Amino acid sequence: MNKYVCDVCGYVYDPEIGDPDNGVSPGTTFEDIPDDWICPTCAAGSESFSPAS
């Protein structure tokens, strides 16, 4: 599972951790997060994320 980084603030979404505080369970791939999920740090939409290198 690939990590994704927010292009706005640098937050890294790690699918092994998910974002349980915002309803995304551990093990959820970035492609499977809800469409209305936003970056927990800066509130950017998921379209503002790129695969981490």
Which tens digits make up the pLDDT trace of 1-53?
899 999 999 999 999 999 999 999 999 999 999 999 999 999 999 999 999 98
6 annotated as ligand-binding: yes
How many structural domains are present in the chain? 1
* Domain containing residue 16: 4-51
Query: CA 52 to CA 10: how far, in whole Å?
Result: 10
| Chain centroid offset of residue 51 CA | 10
pTM of the full predicted structure?
Answer: 0.93
Q: What is the CATH number of the domain that holds 10?
A: 2.20.28.10
pLDDT at 49: 98
Cα–Cα dist 42/28, whole Å: 20
Measuring CA to CA, how many Å separate 1 from each of 27, 42, 43, 52? 8, 23, 23, 11
Residue 53: per-residue pLDDT: 84
The pLDDT of residue 1 is 85
2 labeled part of a ligand binding site: no
Determine if residue 51 is labeled as part of a ligand binding site. no
Determine whether the annotation assigns residue 42 to a binding site: yes
Q: What is the pLDDT of residue 5?
A: 98
